[in-house]
Amino acid sequence: MSSSRNIVIIGGGVSGLSAAYYLSKSGIRATLIEAQPSLGGTIRTEGIDGCTVEGGPDSFLAAKPWALDLIRDLGLEDQVIGSRDSLRRTLIWKGERLVPFPDGMQLMVPTRIGPVLSSRLLSARTKWRMGMDFFRRPRTYPDRSVSEFIGDHFGQEAVDYIAEPLLAGVYGGDPAELSAPSVLPKFVEYESKYGSLSRGVIENLKRSEGPIFQTLKGGLGQWIDALRGKLGPASIIQGRAETVEPGRVRVNGEWLTADQTILACGANVSASLLTGELSHVLRAIPYSSAVIVALGFRRGEFQHPSKGFGFLVPKRERKHLMACTWVGNKFPFRAPDDMTLLRCFFGGDPVESDEQLVAWAVEESGTILGLRAQPVFSRVNRWPNSMPQYTVGHASRMAELQQELRGRPDLHLIGNAYSGIGLPDCVRLAKQTAESIIASPDSPGASS
Ligand SMILES: Cc1cc2nc3c(=O)[nH]c(=O)nc-3n(C[C@H](O)[C@H](O)[C@H](O)COP(=O)(O)OP(=O)(O)OC[C@H]3O[C@@H](n4cnc5c(N)ncnc54)[C@H](O)[C@@H]3O)c2cc1C
């Protein structure tokens, strides 16, 4: 069964591909436009010297079910692997040494006082603040930054050595600008319900059976290949969308009819394709940039026990390197026995050459780990303007966006700029959008 309507999806990352897949399951064939020669967007998996190197995302949170649901649907369940949580430990670079993150932290909130008291990461004053948090009364605040929120509960040191490095590694963002209700909604809810963040986390702690992170044996690229395999080649066009107007989309200078348009190309690109107030609101969502440098070492030359998932470098201690993951510890099937694979994360969009970025990665990870080993391979993946920032005011911008979209029922925005930054949320939004199109009155999949 094919649709009489023309549905155009702009962007062939996981969001656009997921929307196309869910539509196709209901017999609705969409046309997907992708500017790059390959699909996947920020998902980029490469095999190098027996290692599986993720140039962009490396996994997804298991607690959010939508990515795994789709992967199962695609018949890839037997390829799913979990993080090695028995090895999970994060180290923080502080005062020229690696200090373990206290056990029992839920992101930046302590749930056990013992590990906090014995931690070398935190001063007596911060420990006292964390203890006193238990006695706070419930209160609601207007939208405020993560720095203000965490600083208010636990003090500035918790912002500098816990919140900042954790968020830099996920959002590539600055806690002084990120919005607490948009980035840490659960914690803000606990603040208004319990007062104490720790009490809120403890009372809502769910014992999860499985691993924290999941991915695929062959890397996330396997997921993209499976999605592409489910869509006919005729439904994918390589080209750059230039303008989106009601009823039509211009691609490489030619107009395509579009009864429905799904923008899956990021809020920043969507802003440039549209005009008017919609474009204006989308443009107000800022983006940050990141670079991932993979380094592969011969294991025999890499003389470090590397216990844990990796380390974070807080801004106060940082030269260039923000975070480093010991990939083989975090996931099986990533590096052969004779190799050690590091994933180094840098913020921003540096003008320096790839060689310089590799040199920084080798030098700074070498200093932190006390190593002189040289990698046998390196790979640089740059992601300019790829990480949307949920800054203070994000929730009101989303409300404005909803308001504007009411006047454009032919237009749908999906991706990570709106209601969730990670892969599972991208799939959730893509699926919801596909379902709303399927359920609309003239759809072949709609029940009358
Ligand atoms: C370095 C990095 C690490 C990350 N790590 C994780 C992680 O470990 N776990 C996690 O859950 N999330 C992670 N994320 C976030 C995750 O990668 C994204 O949420 C997700 O991949 C976004 O997918 P998308 O399809 O919405 O957008 P994208 O992947 O950005 O895809 C958008 C697509 O649109 C195309 N496009 C743009 N403009 C046009 C145009 N004019 N015409 C046609 N096509 C166009 C682009 O070429 C691209 O293919 C990470 C992100 C980055 C940058």
| Residue 120 forms part of a structural domain | yes
DSSP annotation string for 322-391 = EEEEEHHHHSTTSS-TTEEEEEEEEES---S-HHHHHHHHHHHHHHHHT-----SEEEEEEEEEEEE--B
Query: What is the token pair recorded at 335?
Result: 């590096």
Q: Structural domain of residue 434, as residue ranges? A: 7-43+216-286+390-439
Other beta carbons within 10 Å of 317: 16
Where among 370, 388, 406 does a domain terminate? Answer: 388
Specify whether 282 is located in the same domain as 394.
Answer: yes
Taking only the tens place, the pLDDT of each residue in 141-153 is: 999 999 999 999 9
Mean pLDDT across 7-28: 96
294 CA to middle of ligand 1, Å?
19
Q: Report CA(301)–ligand 1 centroid distance (Å).
A: 35
Q: Is 349's pLDDT higher than 60?
A: yes
Residue 1 covered by a domain: no
- Output 196-201 pairs: Cβ under 8 A, ≥24 positions apart: 196/133, 196/134, 196/135, 196/136, 197/109, 197/133, 197/153, 198/109, 198/110, 198/111, 198/130, 198/133, 198/134, 199/134, 201/106, 201/109, 201/111
Per the structure, the count of domains in the chain is: 3
Nearest residue to 375 (alpha-carbon basis) of 291, 299, 322, 309: 299
Same domain, 187 and 266: no
Same domain, 281 and 291: no
Give the predicted TM-score (pTM) of the model: 0.95
Whether 374 and 398 share a structural domain: no
Q: Where does the pLDDT of residue 239 fall: very low under 50, low under 70, confident under 90, or very high at 90 and above?
A: very high
Please, are residues 295 and 51 in contact by the beta-carbon 8 Å criterion?
no
Cβ–ligand 1 contact at 345 (below 6 Å): no
pLDDT value of residue 448: 37
- Residue 228 and residue 175 share a domain: no
Q: CATH number, domain at 317? A: 3.90.660.20
Is 420 within the bounds of a domain? yes
Mutate to test the pocket of ligand 1, among 14, 43, 237, 265 (most ligand atoms within 8 A of CB): 265
- C-beta 296 within 6 A of ligand 1: no
| Average predicted confidence (pLDDT) for the chain | 94
For the chain, what is the largest distance between any 2 Cα atoms, rounded to a whole number of angstroms?
68
Residue (of 55, 90, 107, 130) closest to 341 by Cα position: 55
Q: 340 CA to middle of ligand 1, Å?
A: 27
In a domain, 71, yes or no: no
Same domain, 399 and 255: yes
Give the mean model confidence (pLDDT) for residues 410-427: 97
Which residue of 17, 39, 42 sits with most ligand 1 atoms within 8 Å of its CB, as the best mutation to test the pocket?
42
| pLDDT tens per residue, range 117-132 | 999 999 999 999 999 9
57 falls within a domain: no
Distance CA 227, CA 70 (A): 9
> What's phi and psi for 156, nearest 5 deg?
-65, -35
| 318 and 344 co-located in one domain | yes
- Which two tokens mark 25? 């399951």
pLDDT for the residue numbered 48: 98
Ligand 1 center–CA 150 separation, angstroms:
29
Whether 211 is in a domain gets the answer no
Q: What pLDDT was estimated at residue 442?
A: 67
pLDDT of res. 440 = 85
| 397 and 282 in a common domain | yes
Asked whether residue 423 is domain-assigned, the answer is: yes
The verdict on 233 and 243 lying in the same domain is yes
Residues 228 and 198 in one domain: no
For ligand 1, whether the C-beta of 41 sits within 6 Å is yes
Spatial contact of 9 and 212, defined as CB atoms under 8 Å apart:
no
Ligand 1 contacts CB of residue 260 (under 6 A): no
- Does residue 198 share a domain with residue 109? yes
Establish if 335 belongs to a structural domain.
yes
Kindly state the average pLDDT of the residues 258-279.
97
**Sorting pLDDT into bands at 50, 70 and 90, what band is 2?**
very low
> What pLDDT is attached to residue 232?
76
Question: In terms of domains, do 297 and 319 share one?
Answer: yes
Position 1 pLDDT exceeds 70:
no
User: Is the Cβ atom of 168 under 6 angstroms away from ligand 1?
Assistant: no
CA distance 413 to 9: 10
Query: Which atom of ligand 1 sits closest to the CA of residue 40?
Result: 49
